[in-house]
Amino acid sequence: MADDPHALFEAWLAEARAAEPNDPTAMALATADGAGRPSVRMVLMKGHDPRGFVFYTNLDSRKGAELAANPSAGLLFHWKSLRRQVRVEGAVETVADSEADAYFATRSRDSQLGAWASDQSRPLDSRETFEARYEAVRARFEGGEVPRPPRWSGWRVVPETIEFWSDRPHRLHERRLFTRDGKGWREGLLYP
């Protein structure tokens, strides 16, 4: 048994980076609106540390609105090539502006411009409308830096539980559950 689920996650992620053919940081993000209606989508984890797991989005997107109304989320990393998965559940918080600015600066210029051009999750009448908005934004910022849009930031899922699932023959899987216990963690096993 390990004492630190974040160290175990880092070890598993390192193996996934070596084994997964595409996007080892891809995770399913489950949210629910204020009425409890769930939705799930794939996002990319852009950071993790003992504070939690971070992804970025438009705060006015569907997921942003759901997280604002119901500030809890579930994450699932599924590394099929390793026959492993990690589930994370916990409260969410927005990242500091300085953290969002620092990450936004690492994005490609086209991705930065796309963040300005897109009304993420809103109805779009045609692809041409989006492309025209993109070109207008490109012209607006021509020759200069592209600042982070005011409604674009990151969310951190602060884990209350982290479950490590390993495939075993005959569906006799191993499930290790870490539960936050004060400032530390308590570990136990779950039946498969």
Residues noted as catalytic: 171
Rounded to whole angstroms, the Cα distance separating 187 from 70 reads 27
How large is the greatest C-alpha to C-alpha distance in the chain, in angstroms?
A: 60
User: Is residue 68 classed as helix, strand or coil in its secondary structure?
Assistant: helix
Burial class (CB in 10 A: 0-12, 13-18, 19+), 88: buried
Round to the nearest angstrom and report the end-to-end CA distance of the chain: 17
